[in-house]
């Protein structure tokens, strides 16, 4: 079971090393079917039902804590109250192009545990976290650089890249307890001074929300950057840049 969790939760750098992934897939297929009992005497046919992937917490947090430090964890599989809105898996982003195959949000184990902690705090205060971006493979960083080769907007993949490439940065915002996005002063990826933490010419409730988000993230071990209210990096460890592609369902 532990190996299954490792393979599903921990997309290790070399995915091919994960020999039991097929086992996970077959287990998943089994859980997505129900048997129908008929009076015909024939063998019951499996009837497919909607997969429960995003409707229930699949893995307890303890199982995440047991993973190796360099493992990657898909957040929504541990806490289904995260609100996914992975913008780079759509064309609704500043590049106006879809650069991810699917909307997986993965972070390194310790960053993931820290984000779960921040989410716990925010949920107690009546909020939830909406996820805009998480781990970003280096090849995607190169794709973004090709579209916009300007290091004011995209980290240079041939230079220091982005902390997102290390699986240790997250772009996020607050929603209410029902998942409705809250006003934060600017949209995600608005590259102007209004998005800076130091910009205070905003309604009180916006400044309060930015502060609440910042305090929860800093309390969990993340650090902000000055120019983007939505970006937080986990810098307690310097992870290597990664380039595996998350498996889409």
The contact set with Zn ion (CB under 5 A) reads 171, 231
CB of 72 to Zn ion, least distance (A): 17
CA distance linking residue 141 with residue 63, whole number of Å: 30
Q: Tokens 């502060």 map to which residue?
A: 211
Cβ distance to Zn ion smaller for residue 85 or 171: 171
Cβ distance to Zn ion smaller for residue 78 or 134: 134
CB of 231 to Zn ion, least distance (A): 4
| E strands present in the chain | 33-35, 46-48, 72-74, 83-84, 106-108, 127-133, 169-176, 223-225, 228-233
What is the greatest pairwise CA distance in the chain?
73
Q: Classify strands 83-84 and 127-133 as parallel, antiparallel or unpaired.
A: parallel
Cβ distance to Zn ion smaller for residue 6 or 239: 239
CA distance linking residue 128 with residue 105, whole number of Å: 15
CB of 112 to Zn ion, least distance (A): 16
Query: Do residues 155 and 141 lie in contact, with contact meaning Cβ atoms separated by under 8 Å?
Result: yes
Cβ distance to Zn ion smaller for residue 79 or 171: 171
Which residue of this chain has its Cβ atom nearest to Zn ion in the complex? 231
At residue 45, φ and ψ (nearest 5 deg) are -90, 135
CB of 199 to Zn ion, least distance (A): 18
CB of 234 to Zn ion, least distance (A): 12
Q: Classify strands 72-74 and 33-35 as parallel, antiparallel or unpaired.
A: unpaired
Cβ distance to Zn ion smaller for residue 142 or 231: 231
């Amino acid at each position: 079971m532990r190996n299954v969790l490792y393979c599903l939760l921990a997309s290790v750098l070399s995915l091919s090393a994960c020999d039991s992934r097929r086992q996970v897939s077959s287990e998943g297929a089994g859980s997505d079917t129900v048997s129908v009992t008929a009076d015909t005497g024939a063998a019951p046919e499996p009837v497919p039902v909607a997969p429960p992937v995003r409707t229930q917490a699949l893995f307890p947090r303890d199982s995440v804590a047991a993973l190796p430090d360099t493992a990657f964890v898909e957040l929504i599989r541990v806490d289904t109250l995260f609100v996914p809105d992975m913008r780079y898996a759509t064309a609704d982003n500043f590049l106006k192009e879809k650069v991810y195959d699917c909307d997986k949000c993965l972070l390194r184990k310790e960053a993931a545990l820290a984000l779960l902690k921040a989410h716990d705090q925010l949920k107690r205060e009546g909020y939830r976290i909406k996820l805009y971006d998480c781990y970003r493979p280096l090849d995607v960083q190169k794709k973004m650089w090709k579209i916009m080769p300007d290091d004011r907007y995209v980290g240079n993949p041939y230079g220091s890249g982005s902390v997102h490439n290390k699986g240790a940065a997250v772009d996020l915002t607050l929603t209410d307890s029902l998942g409705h996005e809250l006003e934060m002063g600017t949209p995600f990826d608005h590259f102007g001074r209004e998005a800076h933490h130091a910009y205070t010419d905003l309604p009180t409730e916006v400044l309060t929300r930015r502060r609440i988000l910042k305090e929860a993230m800093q309390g969990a071990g993340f650090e902000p950057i000055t120019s983007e209210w939505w970006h937080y990096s986990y810098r307690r460890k310097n992870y290597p840049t990664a380039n595996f592609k998350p498996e889409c369902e």
